[in-house]
Amino acid sequence: MKRLKIVLLFFLVAFAFSQEVKARYADHSNFSRFVIESDTPLEYKVFYTGEFSVSLKIDGDINVSPISRIDSKLLSSLIVQKQEGKTVLTLKFRKSCTWKVFELTNPFRIILDIRERPRGNILKNFVRTIVIDPGHGGEEFGAVGKNGTTEKKLTLIFAKELKGIIERNLGVRVILTRDDDSFVSLDERTSIANNAKADLFVSIHFNYSEDPTVKGPETYFLSYKATDSDARLLAYKENLGKIKEAPSSDIELILWDMAQSQYLYQSSRLAEMVQMELASEMGVTNRGVKQAPFAVLMGATMPAILVEVDFISNPDEEKLLLTSDYRHRLEMAIFRGIQKYIRSLR
Ligand SMILES: [Zn+2]
């Protein structure tokens, strides 16, 4: 009897923890809509997985009512996987597509609108102009190290040196979004890149952690949902406190109207190459590239990344970063990443 009770309890608990959601899709004249509907709000993140798919990672063990067959202009299949207490839905496309995600309430729905990627927007296979963006400046100090080094000062020194390295070695034009200690708004920074018809945009920052032992690079490209809570917090700080996350209301964020959406794939590749070079130069484990809603990347009409070169909050790193030798090693690593990316275009 006791055993039966335990078994019953087990089933009840299992039932309580596995949540039923409905999935459906519909084709419209110029886009396809995929909808996840649930009685209760879901915690989830959206991952850019290339031009031909998108992944939705939902917290918890979710039972998705299966779609027997997908007969759609743009969608080809839906794969459901369970991963460490999360449910991952991967939606595959028939063509190269862009997407936007938003939520609706009553009932709670996650909506993915998928649209064919416009032609003629494919990346140019050459790079003539690179914009380097030294983060912060003026009244905006950014992070401050234990010994008082400000992020704004370090990003400027670093960006100027990186500009020199790239110009000497690649023979391309490099423009800085600021070359002194002045305040430049996030919008202005991307405008500078767009007006210069830049082919790459690289924003330089230095990271901060409460843990003084943390070191190493983190390279980001854009998304509405941050990869993890640390990435979300970082984007919040770098956006000067204005959070730019996917809305939970009915407001539609038009991701594909956002300039950067056309370049996410290229941005992710550039981010990977830069991250790999930096991590190996610093001898730290490559934690991979991350995604977060950085305002400075949103309006860029070219592949754009944000590099948190190292942690200014680590006193040892702070000291090292003040030496030109150490900076040179890190600058060369970023340069090699950019160079690899450019070579991969040919
Ligand atoms: Zn910063």
Does any domain span residue 8?
no
* pLDDT, position 244: 45
Q: What is the pLDDT of residues 206-225, one digit of tens each?
A: 999 999 999 999 999 887 66
Altogether, the residues listed in the chain come to a count of 346
Tell which wins on pLDDT, 83 or 201.
201
For residue 203, the CA-to-ligand 1 centroid distance in Å is: 9
Are 156 and 242 found together in one domain? yes
Mean pLDDT of 71-96: 90
State the sign of the Cα–Cα–Cα–Cα dihedral 310, 218, 171, 192. negative
For residue 183, the CA-to-ligand 1 centroid distance in Å is: 13
Strands 53-59 and 44-48: antiparallel
Does any domain span residue 121?
no
Q: How far apart are CA 86 and CA 59, in angstroms?
A: 5
User: What's the CATH number where 321 sits?
Assistant: 3.40.630.40
**3-state secondary structure (DSSP) of residue 245:** coil
For residue 172, the CA-to-ligand 1 centroid distance in Å is: 26
Are 24 and 49 found together in one domain? yes
CA dihedral 189, 194, 200, 203 (to 10 degrees): 10
Residue at a domain's end among 56, 86, 116: 116
* pLDDT, position 26: 93
Are 187 and 96 found together in one domain? no
Which residues hold their Cβ within 5 A of ligand 1, which is an ion?
A: 135, 142, 205, 238
Instruction: Please report, in angstroms and rounded to a whole number, the separation of the first and last CA atoms in the chain.
Output: 71
For residue 152, the CA-to-ligand 1 centroid distance in Å is: 8
CA dihedral 34, 39, 41, 42 (to 10 degrees): -60
* pLDDT, position 296: 85
Angle between helix 264-282 and 324-344 (nearest 10): 140
* pLDDT, position 13: 46
Are 169 and 309 found together in one domain? yes
* pLDDT, position 303: 92
Instruction: State the total domains in the chain.
Output: 2
Q: What is the domain extent for residue 261?
A: 129-344
Window from 8-22, 53-67, 118-132, 239-253 with minimum mean pLDDT: 239-253
Does any domain span residue 133?
yes
Name 77's bridge partners.
92
pLDDT of 246 above 70: no
Place of tokens 């997985």: 49
Does any domain span residue 10?
no
**3-state secondary structure (DSSP) of residue 119:** coil
Q: What is the pLDDT of residues 255-311, one digit of tens each?
A: 444 667 778 888 888 999 999 999 999 999 887 788 777 888 888 889 999 999 999
For residue 144, the CA-to-ligand 1 centroid distance in Å is: 10
Q: What is the pLDDT of residues 108-166, one digit of tens each?
A: 999 888 888 766 544 556 899 999 999 999 999 999 999 999 999 999 999 999 999 99
Name 22's bridge partners.
37, 65
Are 213 and 277 found together in one domain? yes
Mean of per-residue pLDDT scores for the chain? 85
Are 195 and 222 found together in one domain? yes
Sheet with 200-207: list strands edge to edge: 173-176, 129-134, 200-207, 304-311, 218-222, 290-292
The set of residues, in sequence order, having a beta carbon less than 8 Å from that of 333 and lying 6+ positions away, is 274, 277, 278, 280, 281, 282
Q: How far apart are CA 123 and CA 302, in angstroms?
A: 8
For residue 142, the CA-to-ligand 1 centroid distance in Å is: 5
For residue 324, the CA-to-ligand 1 centroid distance in Å is: 20
